[in-house]
Amino acid sequence: MSRMTIAAVPKRPVKRHTQLVKAILAYLAMHPGKVFAWKNNTGALPVGNRFVRYGRRGSPDILGVVKGGGFFGIECKVGRDRLSADQLEFCRRVRELGAIYIEARDVEDVKHLLEGECRDSRT
């Protein structure tokens, strides 16, 4: 089993996508009795003379489960970033099945998720 270092949650607004993902994961890691969450990687790698895709297109940056079994997805956006068509479709399908999907622009958005006041943007 690998050891995971828990980074401090930044007090200033983050300006980069990677910083926001790390800050949210750090916040979620501080609540192991309430939530189990992980970074969801997607992309493609060269294998020989072709590319192999991994992950589901449009899936959020962070996936997890809250106490009681509820599934959630968190798509992190900074600045003027907006959800892509694939992300909107993934969001629609997750919500259609009764799970939670939020677009988080800061850690505060995720705090509402844990408090049961999910402030998701219905885009």
Average pLDDT, the chain: 86
With vertex at residue 21, the alpha carbon angle to CA 72 and CA 95, rounded to the nearest 5 degrees, is 20
Residue owning tokens 């401090």: 8
The answer on pLDDT for 12 being more than 80 is: no
Backbone angles phi, psi at 57, to 5 degrees: -60, 130
pLDDT in tens, 65-116: 998 999 999 999 999 999 999 999 999 999 999 999 999 999 999 998 777 6
pTM, two decimals, is 0.81
Total Cβ atoms within 10 A of residue 53: 10
| Structural element, H or E, at residue 74 | strand 70-76
pLDDT tens-digit readout, 56-68: 999 999 999 998 9
| 10 has a pLDDT exceeding 70 | no
**Domains along the chain?**
17-114 (3.40.1350.10)
